[in-house]
Every structure is written in C-alpha cells, then in structure tokens.
A and B are shown apart, each in its own frame.
Chain A
Amino acid sequence: MSSRSLQTTIIFLVIGGILALAFGGFFGSTSRQFSSVFVEIQTWASSRYLGIQDFFTAPRDLVSLRARNTELEAQVSQLQVQVIELQQRVNETEILAALVDFSRSNPESTYKAAAVIGRDPSPFLHYIIINRGSNDDIRRGMPVVTNQGLVGRVDAVIADAARVQLITDPASAVNVHLQNADTTAVALGSVTGDVSLDMISQDAIVQPGDLVLTSGLGGGYPSDLIIGQVITLRTLEYELFQQATIQPAVDFTRLAIVLVITNFRPVDITPLQPLPAP
C-alpha cells in the first residue's frame, strides 16, 4: 500500500469516526444542530421526492383504477343478469312444484303443462295462447287449470300452440255449484275481466265467502274444479234469480304456466237441446 492511499484511508476513518460520534450525540449541542440540519435536509429531499413520485405515478394509478372500476361494473351487471335469471328460474320452479302437487292430489286426471306465450290482440276478448298443440295431444274443449283453480278451456288448436278461452271472457259461461248453499248457478265473464254468478235460485241462501266449484252440468267441464269465492250477493224480490260477484281463485293477470287436463272429453249436448217451435 502506498503512502498516499494510506493517508486517504486514515482521513476517511477519521471523518467517519467524527460523523459517527456526532450522530451518536457525543458532541452535545454541536452534534444536535448538525443532526437536525441533516434531518431537515433529509425531510425536504424526501418530501420533494415523494411529491415528484406522486406526480408521475398518480395518473397511472387513476387510469388503472378506472379500468378496474369498469371491469367490476361489468361484472356487477353480469351478476345482476344472473340473479334475475335465477330468480325467474326459482319462480318457475315454485310454480311447477305447485302444479306437480296439484296433479298428485288430483290423480284422476292426466295433465300436460304449458307455458302462456301470448294473449288475444283484441282487448274485447279474454283468450291466452299456450305453447302446446295437437302435436302434444291437446284437443279443442279440454279444460285448463292451475293449482289455484279453473282457468278456461281450449278453444282452437294448431300443431304447436293452442288458444284458450278464459272464464273471464265475456262469451264464457260455466255451470257452477255453490258448495255451502248447495245450489247451482252460471258463472259469466265480462269485458272488464270480472266474473259474476247468475241464475242463483231465490230460495238459495248464499253468503259472502261461499266456495264456487264447477258442477259438471252440460259436459263442458269436469266437476269440482275451484272457480272462486262469492264476494257480494244481489237479491231483488221482483227478479227471478239472485246474482253475485265472485273473486276468481286464479290471478289471470299473472298466468305463466297452466295445466291442460288431457283425459277429459267435453260432451256435445247440442243434439239434445230442444229446437225452437216453428
């Protein structure tokens, strides 16, 4: 080692030692002043560096955050769609489960489930269109029900669809039996979708809440299908019959899936009806 490099090493060691003693607080107030100046300079330099770092990195973070936000929003909307789809499936499953329960509790009939795919384009008529037709052995006149009660009957059939006349249709008339009063009547539809009872004998004692079932008379419907409950009764002494309004058991505004009773064949009683006298 040359004398020059030995000299440099000694100088470095001396300065290093002095600095170490100064930072260690061995020089008293001189040491504190020195270290505070150093710390201030360090703080200033550090804060400037962080400011410059923020200036360059923050916009980059904002862009990536925005991208991530968009990505998450897309995921949320995708999940919302999935939730809606699953809710629909749950609703469908609930309806189908109720219909299966109904068909099990009424084993005398055979059923075919059908989805409601449309309604009559004219507001004057109350018909629905179902997605089962002659290919599924659906025939004209077959009754259509839900687990809640009678919906109507098949009016026209094509290969893969059928049109069903609801009991709320103004041209619909169903022979019914009032369970508690033990009397018969006719349930009539109307253009507003209300169902009323007519031809109730004046002797019959009908109460609000009485259950209305199909009587099976006339051969158009099987007996004992629920139609609804009596709400109000109108009795006028000078009229031949009493009249009543009923609350249908089926919610016709929310029909989604129905059951067609496929083993029922309506009876055509037209030839048995007396002809008007000439």
Chain B
Amino acid sequence: MRNIIAFPLLGLAVILQSSIVSQIKLLSGYADLPLIILAAWALQERVKSAWHWAVLGCGMIGLISKLPWPVFVIGYLAVVFLAQALQRRVWQAPLLAMFSVTLLGTLFMHILSYVILRVLGTPLSIGVVLESITLPSLLLNMLFSIPIYTFMRDLARWVYPSEVYE
C-alpha cells in the first residue's frame, strides 16, 4: 500500500525535471531525474515494484515530452532490467552498482533518442550530441545519483519495513 508514494514522488520528479533540472545545464546537457530515481529504486534489495514504477514514470514523462514515448518505455524499462540484474551480482557494493546503472542507462537512453530522432528526420550530428549533450548529461547524472540513491534507500526501508522474527 505504501507503494502509492510512487504517484506523488514520480509526479514531483517529472515536474522538477521540466521546471528546474532542465534549466541546470552543462553545455547543452542536463540530468535525467526520473531515470536516476528509477535506477536507485530498482537497485534496492527489498523492492518488488520497480517495473510498476518504471511504467508509471514513462506514462508521466511521455505526457509532457515531445520525444516519442517508445524511447521512454524502452529506455526506462531497460534501466530497471539492468539495475535488477546488477543488484544480484554487485550487491556488496551498491554505490558501484548505482554508478554502473546510471552510466549504462544514460548512454542507452541517449543512443535510443539519437536513433529514433534520426529515423524521424531530425538532423543531428553524432559528434555534437556526444560532446554537448551525452557527456555533460552523464556527468550530471553521476553527481545526482549519490544523494538520490541514499534517499531511495531510506524510502525503500519505509515502504518495505524489515520483518521482525521472534
């Protein structure tokens, strides 16, 4: 029942992404708050609702972005898949797993965005995209990932309290 927190939290994340985070630019890139939140959530050991959160995040961000919604659906679900796969293997170093998911997830999202926009006829130069958007966004996502991971870990403990054995 506490999973309902996903609605206000992801809603707030999308609003912040559109109104504030998109203004904090490094060259032409900026952080992807919903992606980092989904990655951090999916990396928590107790969490069982990461897929639901991803679908909800896709729906919310797809409403306001001009980017075709399949980019978000494929991208965010891939991030959750990657996070859950890594969480089982790198469970002893959660921050390393967080950095890895953020790095790979951001790269995957940007490659997907680039390919789909090119297919739709938007002229984009891969060199400029890499230099002005992808690398700065990657750096910002990495910076944001540490505090967000800590916050999501605490939230996961609240949503999934540990069972007490007698």
Q: Which residues of A contact B (CB under 8 A)?
A: 117-125, 127, 129, 155-156, 163, 165, 170-171, 188, 190-193
The segment from B2-10, B79-87, B128-136, B156-164 found at the interface with A is: B128-136
Q: How far is the CB of B159 from chain A (nearest CB, A)?
A: 25
Give 15 CB contacts A-B under 8 Å. A117-B19, A118-B18, A120-B18, A121-B22, A122-B65, A123-B137, A124-B117, A124-B129, A125-B66, A127-B65, A165-B66, A171-B117, A171-B122, A191-B128, A191-B132
The segment from B23-31, B36-44, B147-155 found at the interface with A is: B23-31
Q: B114 an interface residue at 8 Å Cβ cutoff?
A: yes
Q: State whether A120 touches B28 (Cβ < 8 A).
A: no
Q: B113 an interface residue at 8 Å Cβ cutoff?
A: yes
Q: Which residues of B contact A (CB under 8 A)?
A: 14-15, 17-19, 22-23, 25, 27-30, 32, 34, 61, 64-67, 71, 110, 113-114, 117, 121-125, 128-129, 132-133, 137
By a CB distance below 8 angstroms, the chain B residues around A123 are 22, 25, 28-30, 133, 137
Q: How far is the CA of A111 from the CA of B53 in the complex (A)?
A: 41
Q: How far is the CA of A151 from the CA of B34 in the complex (A)?
A: 28
Q: How far is the CA of A190 from the CA of B133 in the complex (A)?
A: 12
Q: State whether A127 touches B133 (Cβ < 8 A).
A: no
Q: State whether A118 touches B28 (Cβ < 8 A).
A: no
CB < 8 Å: which of A119, A165, A188, A190 contacts B18? Answer: A119
Q: State whether A191 touches B129 (Cβ < 8 A).
A: yes
Q: How far is the CB of A130 from chain B (nearest CB, A)?
A: 12
By a CB distance below 8 angstroms, the chain B residues around A121 are 14, 17-18, 22, 32, 34, 61, 64-65, 67
Q: State whether A129 touches B64 (Cβ < 8 A).
A: yes
Q: How far is the CB of A122 from chain B (nearest CB, A)?
A: 4
Q: Can you add 18 more A-B contacts, CB < 8 Å, to A121-B64, A123-B137, A156-B66?
A: A118-B18, A119-B18, A119-B19, A120-B64, A120-B65, A120-B66, A121-B18, A121-B65, A122-B66, A122-B67, A123-B133, A124-B124, A127-B66, A155-B66, A170-B117, A170-B122, A170-B123, A171-B122
